[in-house]
Amino acid sequence: MRRSLVVLFATALAVAALALAFVALRAKGAASSPAPHLAAFVDRGANLGGRPAPDFTLEDQFGRTESLAQWRGKVVVLAFVDDECTTICPLTTQSMTMALHLLGPAAARVVLLGVDANPLHNRVQDVLAYSEQHGMPRSWHFLTGSRPALEKVWADYGIAVQIEHGMIDHTPALYVIDRQGRERRIYLTASQYAGVGQEAYVLAKEVASLLPGHVRVAPPSGDVAAMSPRRRLQVPLASGGRLVVGPGHPRLYLFLDAWAPGAAQQLPLLAGYEAGAKAQGLPPLVLVDVRDAEAAPMALPRLLASLPGARGLPLAVDLEGRLADGYGAQDIPWYALTNVAGKVVWSHDGWLPPAALLQAARQAGS
């Protein structure tokens, strides 16, 4: 059963309203003024006034019993994460780990906690699997428990969780809790891939303000503007050199990461599309490694090299997530087909067999 939070940002007026209402009820101050170098979509957070954070006791990804109270003396970054999510949750966890990196040696005084937001898959092995897929089994504590226990935590922290047509929607909230166990700030993760680095910076700055001494956090660098398919651009290839994208180059793009469910089984099958597209004069396939959502930069190239049927597939590198944003990717994996004018004429969320991809390419070009 696929998990998608696209609904949260495309059709989620209800969930957004819940989240905004929750922030209005709990926040005691307005969000800080936007920093000039941050994108408008990056959440600066809302002040929670320092009220005591509700305690809870759950099990981590190794089956160890843990409580929030045991981390007094450290700053806690607490996120609510669906262990099967392939949309917003990987962006949340990546921003958490990036923020820890930005703090340098001061990160030793910070702990990352996740609480499972999936009411259907809440076993210890489920949160361990997510942690391993995203390269962070030892860098955070991903907690789960019985459904009633989780529901109490969700209620205590204002997390709306709902199941619609087999998919999980939940408020993508992230809390910063100070060393005395008080709620200081809440953030809602944005859906843009290019925003991960800036969200990490905002989070790291808040955490640094709660630590003793003067912890300096380097500001984010680089552009976060989406790369439109109507612009002719050059993007790097993992094998070296660059690939020209945009008008004049119709292609089938597949945005993905090594952690994408089923990647090892599905990637070798794509050679069937490549062969069929060449024979029928259809747009060639290009894989796009969305690095801002990938824990290990070389994870996808290594995976491709280990799969005999996928070694020859071209792999472009989207270093900052700007290509994924510009081409409309909202999940991993995500297909986007562009025509000669540089317009996305077809897209699809999730894996498809080569025959279905060829049919979609034929129909889009007719």
Q: What is the pLDDT of residues 117-158, one digit of tens each?
A: 999 999 999 999 999 999 999 999 999 999 999 999 999 999
Span 2-29, average pLDDT: 39
| CATH code of domain 6-209 | 3.40.30.10
Does residue 30 carry a pLDDT above 90? no
Q: Which residues touch 147 (CB under 8 Å, ≥6 apart)?
A: 119, 122
Q: Give the pLDDT band (50/70/90) at residue 163.
A: confident
- pLDDT bin (cut points 50, 70, 90) of residue 221 is confident
Q: Tell me, what's the pLDDT at 22? A: 45
Q: How far apart are CA 210 and CA 228, in angstroms?
A: 39
Cβ atoms within 10 Å of 240's Cβ, excluding its own? 6
Predicted pLDDT of residue 16: 40
In CATH, the architecture of 233-365 is: 3-Layer(aba) Sandwich (3.40)
Contacts of 129 (CB under 8 A, 6+ apart): 83
Structure tokens at 355: 């025959």
Residue range(s) of every CATH 3.40.30.10 domain in the chain? 6-209, 233-365
pLDDT at position 36 over 50: no
pLDDT of residue 326: 97
Cβ atoms of 230 and 204 closer than 8 Å: no
| Residues 6 or more apart in contact with residue 183 via CB below 8 angstroms | 26, 48, 49, 50, 51, 52, 53, 175, 176, 177
